[in-house]
Amino acid sequence: QQIVAEVAAREWKSDDLFELVRGAAPYARLERESFDRVVDFLSEGITDTSGRGRVYLHHDRVGRRLRPRKSARLSACTNAGAIPDIGSYRVVTEENSFVGTLDEDFAIESQAGDVFLLGNTSWRIHHVRGERVTVSDAGGAPPTIPFWRGEAPGRTWELSQEVSHLREEVAERIGGPGDAQDQRTRRMGEATVWLATETLCNEHAARQIVEYVASQQAAVGMVPSGKRVLFERFFDEAGGMQVVIHAPFGSRINRAWGLALRKRFCRSFDFELQATADDDGFILSLGPQHSFPLESLFGMLGPHNARNLLEQALLAVPVFQLRWRWNLTRALVVLRRNGGKKVPHAIQRFRADDLLTAVFPKLTGCQENITGDHEIPDHPLVQQTMHDCLHEALDFEGFESVLGGVDCGDIELVGRDTREPSPFSWELLNANPYAFLDGGEIQERRARAVATRRSLSVEELGDLGRLDPEAIRQVVDEAQPAVRNADELHDLLLSRIVLASTALEPGAESSWNEWFSELVEAGRATTVTTPGGHSCGVAAERLPVALALHQDATADPGIDVPEGVPTEFSSTGARVAAVRGLVEVCGPTTDAEVATQLAITPTQATAALEALEGEGTVLRGRFRATTTDPGTSDVQQTPAGVEWCHRRLLARIHRLTVEGLRRQIRPIDVPTFQRFLARHHGLHPGTQRTGSGGLFEVIGLLQGLDVPAGNWETDLLSKRLAGYRESWLDELTLSGEVGWGRLYPSAAAFERTRPMSSLSRTAPLGLFLREDLQWLTHWGRVPNPDSLGDTARDLFDRLGKNGAQFATDLLKPTGLLPDQLTSSLGELVRRGLVTCDTFAGVRQIVAGTASRRGRRGRRIRTRQPVGGAGRWSIWRRGQPDDPDTSAGTESDSEQRMAEADALEQWAWQLLRRWGVVFRDLLAREPGAPRWWQLLSVFRRLEARGEIRGGRFVEGPGGEQFALGETVRRLRQLRDEALQDNEPETEILVISATDPLNLVGILTDTGRVPATSQNRVALVNGRPVAAITGGELEWLEDLDETTRLAVEAELPRLGSLPPRPVLATETH
């Protein structure tokens, strides 16, 4: 292009023009031969046979001068530039307003009705005509086209090195997978803090990264990095296998590696593999016929063959054709504008394809006539195109550097066979078409036939290479053929070729000896004995194979081989056939075990197994780990060395292992969940908290609930805290850490009627941490003071004017009697308007211990606990019902932020209280937001990796969310119950006002009303009895012993629930 432009401006001597070009830095090392070849095709045509119809120069070889042709100036001016034309389509509305541009592939593959996102608006396609895409506003509809196609810059080598260093640093700080659980958890927390500080990211993002790396390390025992590349292989649902190469070198290097290795496979197995690559690795999808040691992949590529394989691979992918067209347009061989008009992209493509056929006919011709490698023409445009593919689209220099590091040992290659994909594989398995290295469609990808997990869990992903011994035992048992008569025994002999006589002896297998004798008498089977004394049963049709397997063996009795049966077998073929029959039913085995069963040498067994591996029948590896026999508790150590297993059986073992793990995470039943809650809340012996610190934790669990005042200390706190003291609660309330009051007043509190009754032990009250009060009451309503009675309103106004006051300070100015003051304060408490510094005020009012001042002489002064101890104050002020006046001064954005924060705080509160949260539990949460509001928060927390979603409790419908630690404790509790043959009976009696009263919510029985007098009895988490309205009701039939034990724990009928003796401080 530069040569045409210079010559179009004026005539040049070729030597002077060469020196001018050499003076530019990009062409400082340009060889004269290359320059002359460019001049040749500009003056003679792109090939010798293409003619001189589109040439731009007159080349005077005698005078060594260059002159322009007529079209040179116009072509150079209208087609200048090196930026490639990617074929953009104009996007316009029906009113012909310009919206933007789309790339050619995207526009062509779109259909009318598709919705895509351009800018921040979704558009619906009406039609694609010419190079215009006509659209209309889709009204915010979600896109139906989930991704864009086209090239994008990959991660650079330098950035990839930094990513690798970060992986190594995080993995080192986490520690190895063999560390103790508590130590590993502590180190993960420290790594999260370090990462957030080092990278200035928020804590959520840092925690996700640490858990992501920790899960990968737990799965395969290592974290792939720039110094350790992981080759991982696992089965897919179609019976094939996926090989994932975890190489964090960036997509340009990984695409080069993937293309070259794919071509190497094609030549080795005569099979085109599906392949995908991104910045962190690439994946090869193997078919059922591909069986080989994973380590054999390590030596397939090296600096000696990488360039040739990559060049041949590039010729078959669109990257080469695309850059060929770009170079043709840059070189003015294919014009982008002609006659003042833009040349359509389709025409440009057709002309570029025609010129490729002229220059490189073998590439575009029938490939059936081509043998061996394509010889790349020594044409400047072809060479430049291949150079651009290797060094622009791909990073061949970086690829060579990686292979050199592997050769010299700087980069270690590690192989792992896993039962399911590790976490780092999930992104590649679900990659979109822009990551594909072949032309396959997304619906045809074998990688999409791999099931992946919904969430990360370090505990669940531990050691993905381990197979369940029980799964191996089950598959081997199921693989044994069912022999029920002589014909089925004959079928077994046909499959096995040779069957050891020990299996046919009397007593070995029921009736096998009789059926074998029947076959011998009919001439359908015989016994073959080797010179070494090994004997085996053989079917008549397999006698030639058995005699070829064992030289000089004899058959007793002698039988005739049926007509039509091949009789010529080599010893090698006979061994392969016999080993094939054995591995179809034996499961994982070693060459020594095969040799023993078939009476051949271990070397012969290894050779036969390798032949079967080449057919894709067996896979080698280490499948049986050290196991313990459950019957004898003896440790069984498997033989050292490589094991072999039939592909079909190994796939079933992998599948059963995964299914077994899934059974371990199956939902628990409701009684187990109830037992967990008892331990979580400290109601189970040995789990109680203690001290004011423990009380603070308990209130943190229970806040947000209004419970009858008389039940807080007698039934909730005292059962959850060992040696509960009233002074602990007074200490927390006086210090301002804890407050109390009615959080969610009933509808009667908002009515302008007669004054409400005074405070009693049944009046609902809530304890809460004062720092959480704002979000606890974000949606709560407060009664208007105008609905109060006259006395209560006067008292309310006095407290609002003078601030907090002791009850004795309120008696004289109000002129109220002590009982009247107590009653008025009670009404204000029931309406959720006032509170007290300590809980003693509630404690004395509900107990009815307030005393009147006796009419004694003025000389004797007695203590008068009017209204209880502490100062009374207004803690919430009612608002008028008019929404215009109730609106605050906050802006809409501030209100939305406050609501979002309150929703997230409530979500965490429910997780802390219940461990597992689902919709049914909100029946016990009158103050909580609606489920649909919480659902979006829970889903967001799950997406951030902070909680887990799934099915954790069997029975309740809808989505469930849980903390990771809760899931672990639930499974531990279930597993302990399954392993305990004689579990101890757990009897728990709780008040019906306790939030753990889930009778009728999680069970099929009717609800037990949450009143102070009612009780619920649980046996091993199952509700078995309830006291309702003073009557005992049995909810489940029990044996006599358990029934008596439950009755002993229940309070006596007809009496009030005894209040436990609370320890008090003495002064």
Q: What is the CA radius of gyration of the chain?
A: 41
More confident residue, 443 or 613: 613
What's the pLDDT score for residue 791?
80
Say which amino acid occupies 296.
Answer: S
For the stretch 325-365, pLDDT in tens is 999 999 988 888 888 888 887 788 888 888 898 889 888 87
- Give the residue from 387, 400, 449, 380 showing the smallest Cα distance to 420: 449
C-alpha span between 33 and 728 (Å, rounded): 95
Tell me the DSSP string of 478-497.
HHSPP--SHHHHHHHHHHHS
Rounded percentage of the chain residues whose pLDDT exceeds 70: 85
Tokens of 930: 């609606």
C-alpha span between 276 and 752 (Å, rounded): 72
Contact between residue 255 and residue 439 where contact means Cβ atoms under 8 Å apart = no
Q: ∠ at Cα 675 (1063, 917), nearest 5°?
A: 105
- The DSSP H or E segment spanning 753 is none
C-alpha span between 28 and 22 (Å, rounded): 5
More confident residue, 389 or 786: 389
Instruction: Report whether pLDDT(861) > 70.
Output: no
The contacts of residue 1036 (CB under 8 Å, 6+ apart) are 1019, 1022, 1023, 1024, 1025
**Burial level of 192, CB count in 10 A (0-12/13-18/19+)?**
buried
Query: Cis peptide before 557, with omega less than 30 degrees from 0?
Result: yes
Mean pLDDT of 584-609: 89
For the stretch 50-88, pLDDT in tens is 667 678 899 988 889 999 988 888 888 988 888 877 777
For the stretch 1005-1033, pLDDT in tens is 888 998 888 999 999 999 999 998 888 88
Length of the chain: 1067
Mean pLDDT of 823-828: 80
C-alpha span between 391 and 311 (Å, rounded): 12
Q: What is the mean pLDDT of the chain?
A: 82
Tell me the DSSP string of 774-823.
HHHTTT-----GGGS-HHHHHHHHHHHHH-SEEHHHHHHHHT--HHHHHH
Tell me the DSSP string of 443-467.
GG-GGGGS---SS--TTTTS-TTPP
What's the pLDDT score for residue 792?
80
The contacts of residue 23 (CB under 8 Å, 6+ apart) are none
DSSP state of 25: G
- Give the residue from 969, 953, 883 showing the smallest Cα distance to 921: 953
CATH fold for the domain made of 894-978: Arc Repressor Mutant, subunit A (1.10.10)
Tokens of 329: 């347009």
Contact between residue 587 and residue 654 where contact means Cβ atoms under 8 Å apart = no
- Give the residue from 582, 497, 509, 507 showing the smallest Cα distance to 548: 497
In the chain, domain spans: 2-78, 89-137, 157-312+396-449, 316-375, 469-664, 703-853+862-881, 894-978, 981-1049
628 pLDDT band, cuts 50/70/90, is very low
Candidate from 41-45, 224-228, 506-510, 527-531 with smallest mean pLDDT: 506-510
757 pLDDT band, cuts 50/70/90, is low
1066 pLDDT band, cuts 50/70/90, is very low
Tokens of 54: 């589109």
Candidate from 27-41, 801-815, 1002-1016 with smallest mean pLDDT: 801-815
- The DSSP H or E segment spanning 642 is none
The contacts of residue 610 (CB under 8 Å, 6+ apart) are none
Strand-pairing partners, residue 589, are 644
Contact between residue 785 and residue 796 where contact means Cβ atoms under 8 Å apart = yes
C-alpha span between 279 and 275 (Å, rounded): 14
Q: Is 98 helix (H, G, I), strand (E, B) or coil?
A: strand
Looking up tokens 């800018």 gives: 119
853 pLDDT band, cuts 50/70/90, is very low
**Residues 260-265: contacts with CB under 8 Å, at least 24 apart:** 260/301, 260/306, 260/309, 260/310, 260/313, 260/399, 261/297, 261/300, 261/301, 262/313, 262/437, 262/438, 263/309, 263/310, 263/312, 263/313, 264/300, 264/301, 264/305, 264/309, 265/300
For the stretch 244-289, pLDDT in tens is 999 999 999 999 999 999 888 888 777 778 888 889 999 988 876 6
Distances (CA, A) of 924 to 921, 992, 997: 6, 11, 9
How many CA atoms within 13 Å lie on the side-chain side of 431?
Answer: 28
Please report, in angstroms and rounded to a whole number, the separation of the first and last CA atoms in the chain.
Answer: 102
C-alpha span between 228 and 234 (Å, rounded): 19
